Structure 1
Amino acid sequence: MNEMPLSMLLGVLLLMLILSAFFSGSETSLMTLNRYRLRHLVKLKHPGAIKTHQLLKRPDRLIGLILLCNNFVNTFAASITTILAIRLFPQEESSIAIGAGVLTLVMLIFSEVTPKTLAAIKPELLAFPAAWIYEPLLKILYPVVWFVNIFVNLLLRMVGVDVNKNTPDSLNRDELKSIITEAESLMPPRYQKMLLGILDLESATVEDIMTPRNEIVGIDLEDPLEEIVGQIKDSPHTQLAVYKKSIDRIIGFLHLRKVLIEVNQPYFDKQTIINLLSQPVFIPENTPVHTQMLNFKKEKIRIGLVVDEYGDVQGLVTLDDLLQEIVGELITDEVAAAQPQHDGSYLVDAGITIRELNRVTQWALPTEGPKTLNGLIIEVMETIPEPGTSIDLHGYQLEVIKRNKNTVKLVKFLPRK
């Protein structure tokens, strides 16, 4: 090599720098590829994507191949630089150090930072062409790569990592929720909330979404008939619970479509109501929402009472409540319960459930424990706070605006800093 002309040495050095840039950039591009877009392109039969997908099934082999080639190229470039430095500056004792310094700077700019930055921004631009080169190169150098990987895999097993069991492409629910939340430019916010609602079905129970016991609207058969008739005619609900004195003594559910035909007849009485009742359905409070949706469909019913472990009625849940958990404000007035103000604050009805509030505001208030905002405030304060009280509710600042004797009614969440 000492006999080679300077022009040839410079040409070889330039080639090494180009190869080093290729190996560095292709390594970054292959490792930063969007794996889900890659799978999509594989389904579309994209040739480069298919090659790349095959290589990435064994990333240890691919990385071993790239680093093997890159280290060889960089070492060869350093040797050529040493020869050039000695031949150009034979009298300078520091010529080798100067050559090493210049080579380091050149490689850093042209063979490392520039190609890796480009590869990180546009990984497909380099990854797909590189896959066509690496596939035959891996076959040629496979014995060397295999030998290196034996020691690499052994070292990884010593620290508890099994390359064969690694599944980097799998997503957990929280990561998938983050992807949906960040996809603002691809879908309207209402569809984002719908998808997030579907993901939350796995963790939600009927207790999370039920109408609480004290808010159940029903017919007490102990009331006068005239009062019952007025309640039937004025009710905004399709079905009403019918009981005697207490919701714990439930008799059944009355469908208003059936009873409105009879209510103006001269023979209409309480017995007529009883004859039109459907049997009550009782649902354990810890039943998952997705399970109850299947139960409603299988049993062809739309309403049930939620009971605790002692059989006491805790609330009421309908098929509409379950659908609301998915589609949210498309069919309900969630936004009216949490109204954004011009200063960035929120005026919130304290009867709203924590899940609904989180869905509307994209906050992260805890859903374990109390199900409503009122319940969460009372749990934190251990009392029913007076109007004007300021509270730090799990990192969210709020002020109590209105309360009655036993509940908080209205609060104002201050803008988050």
Structure 2
Amino acid sequence: MADPYPSSVPHRSVRHEDKRGFLQKLAEFIHPGPDSKDELIDSLAEAEDNEIINAESRIMLEGVIRMADMTAGDVMVPTPHMDVLDINAPYPELLQTVIATGHSRFPVFEGERDNIVGILLAKDLLKLQCQSGDTGPDVRHLLRPATFIPENKGLNDLLRDFRGNRNHLAIVIDEFGRVAGLITIEDVLEEIVGEIEDEFDVDEDAGHVLALADGGWRVSGETPVEHMNQTFGLQLPEDEFETIGGMVSHAVGRVPKRGESHDLNGLRLVVQHTKGGAVKWFKVVRLGTGA
């Protein structure tokens, strides 16, 4: 019997393979196209429902769309909550601030806080300690140039600038030339991809309470109230709130901002970091020992 499929003629697949790319399928799905950004976002949600895209892709695409109308002023850390270093502070004081806050980059000022003279990388300061001992010489020669941007600079343009240079922190200036805050590449990217784990994020196995060299503690906002009672010898009610972050937010009446403090049963809890509408980390000291 003759071969129904001669070797010179390729076999035809019984099943049709969809070779359209992701963007092509998405474009065909929303054709002829929405008339507004809100309609486009609704179309993305519908595309997810129809399994054209997955949830992670929808979140990122929505972030890109919304970011187009956002400026540095919308997501910056305002001046009162900036962690900055005084160029004239003793070396041990600078080192303690770096360790306590846990950031990788710091604006450095001279005289007034508005007078930003450069950016100091934590790794450079730590290298200096290894080379020069605890006293340390003047850190001025370690400073890197600061990047200044206006409040109304678009996040799209800012992200392009961040990608084009290695200065992933910018100082935001208001219309009068005063320092309004700071913004990092992480702040911009989180508008697209959501929360990014950083130097403040630790594995759950590492615990909720971390001892600091100055006698204080770094406490996660998700620390159970029961654990706070056991660790600090407190008698906080354990049936009203599950976490210490929730208890403090309820007492303040809102989610406190970075730099704000709240006194509780002989402890002072200073907000170090917030994300996603919740406190991520507190710096905790016993009242009377300094904050």
- TM bucket normalised to smaller: 0.5 to 0.7
What is aligned with 1:180?
Answer: 44
Does the 8 A contact of 1:387 with 1:402 survive in 2? no
Deviation at 1:215, TM superposition (A): 1.4
The amino acid that maps onto 1:283 is I
Relative contact order (alpha carbons < 8 A, sep ≥ 6): 1 or 2 greater? 2
| Aligned residue number for residue 289 of structure 2 | none
2:177 aligned to which of 311, 324, 329 = 311
CA spacing shift, 1:38–1:269, aligned 2, 3 Å: closer
Query: In 2, distance between residues paired with 1:234 and 1:402?
Result: 22
1:260-275, aligned counterparts within 5 Å?
260-266=126-132, 272-275=138-141
Contact 1:205–1:287 at 8 Å: present in 2 too?
A: yes
Structure-1 residue corresponding to 2:86: 220
In structure 2, which of residues 57, 82, 88 is the aligned counterpart of residue 191 of structure 1? 57
- Counterpart amino acid of residue 226 in structure 1: P
1:251 pairs with 93, 117, 125, which one? 117
SS of the residue corresponding to residue 309 of structure 1 reads coil
What residue in structure 2 maps to residue 276 of structure 1? 142
SS of 2:183's equivalent in the other structure is: strand
Spell out, residue by residue over 1:164-202, the C-alpha distance to the aligned partner (whole angstroms, 9 max, x if none): xxxx92323221101112344425544322211011121
The 1:262–1:207 alpha-carbon spacing in structure 2 relative to 1, beyond 3 Å, is same
1:387 Cα deviation from its structure 2 partner: 6.1
SS in 2 for 1:290: helix
Out of 279, 284, 290, the residue aligned to residue 156 of structure 2 is 290
TM-score by length of 2: 0.55
Q: What TM-score, normalized to structure 1?
A: 0.40
Decide which structure has greater helix share. 1
- For the residue of structure 1 that corresponds to 2:143, the secondary structure is coil
| Aligned ranges 1:385-396 → 2 under 5 Å | none
Distance 1:337 1:209, change over 3 A: farther
Gaps of 5+ in 1: 1-35, 42-167, 339-346, 351-373, 375-385, 389-399, 413-417
Task: Provide, for residues 256-289 of structure 1, a one-character-per-residue CA deviation record: whole Å limited to 9, x for no partner.
Answer: 2222111133377675411010111111000000
* Deviation of the 1:296 alpha carbon: 1.9
Q: Is the 8 A contact 2:108 2:116 kept in 1?
A: yes
CA offset digits 1:187-239 (Å, max 9, x no partner)? 55443222110111210101111111111112123433321122234441111
Q: Which has the higher strand share?
A: 2
Contact 1:190 1:330 (8 Å CA) reproduced: no
Say which SS state the counterpart of residue 196 (structure 1) adopts: helix
Deviations 1:60-95 (A, max 9, x none): xxxxxxxxxxxxxxxxxxxxxxxxxxxxxxxxxxxx
3-state secondary structure, aligned to 1:329: coil
Given that 2:147 and 2:170 are in contact with CA atoms closer than 8 Å, whether structure 1 keeps it comes out as: yes
- Counterpart-to-counterpart distance in 2, 1:220 and 1:288: 30
Q: Secondary structure at the match of 2:107?
A: strand
Contact 2:91 2:137 in 1 (8 A): no
Matched ranges for 1:145-184 at <5 A: 169-171=32-34, 172-184=36-48
CA shift in 2, pair 1:323/1:402, >3 Å = closer
Q: CA deviation at 1:331?
A: 4.1
Alignment of 1:89-104 (within 5 A): none
Does structure 1 retain, via aligned residues, the 8 Å contact 2:149–2:171? yes
CA distance in 1, matches of 2:195, 2:255: 25
Residue type matched to 2:115 in 1?
R
Cα distance in 1, alignment partners of residues 148 and 26 from structure 2: 48
TM-aligned CA distance change 1:258 to 1:387, over 3 Å = closer
Distance (Å, rounded) in 1 between the aligned partners of 2:181 and 2:42 = 32
Q: Is the 8 A contact 2:87 2:140 kept in 1?
A: no
| Code of the aligned partner of 2:117 | I
State, as a whole percentage, how many aligned pairs show the same letter. 25
| Aligned residue identity for 2:38 | D
CA-atom RMSD, angstroms? 4.1
Query: Does the 8 A contact of 2:77 with 2:182 survive in 1?
Result: yes
Question: How many angstroms apart in 2 are the aligned matches of 1:402 and 1:297?
Answer: 32
